Amino acid sequence: MFLKIEHLGIAVRNLESANKLFAALLGTEHYKQEAVEREKVTTSFFQMGGSKIELLEASDPESPIAKFIEKRGEGIHHIAFEVEDIRATIKRLKEEGFHLLSDEPKPGADNKLIAFLHPKSTNGVLVEICQERH
């Protein structure tokens, strides 16, 4: 079951300057910055009521974020939905015919288990599902 929009992921070339821009825009500082080595990315989170903005900077030129920016430029990378049970949601989505990028959830930033749906099965939008790790 989808609970809410957890965050919007925004690909940026320079996290430091993007943090300054979004702090000025939103009127608040980021609350967390975290490297996710597995994904070759450094993230920064801003809280917005019940949702978040996640800024993503590539830490490797071969990372998915670096390739995204090279192809499309900076901007919205993905939308993430919080789910009640990520494994049950993965199973249901696969049964519904959605193409997932992995069959099992993996550790992500901000203490989450995550999985992505391929944009070809979601009208061109990269969708992330996530669940708080216990």
> 86 vs 21, 74, 98, 124, CA distance in Å?
33, 29, 14, 22
> Residue 1: its pLDDT value, please?
86
Q: What percent of the chain has pLDDT over 90?
A: 96
| Residue segments in the chain with a per-residue pLDDT below the cut of 50 | none
Cα 33 from Cα 89, distance rounded (Å): 28
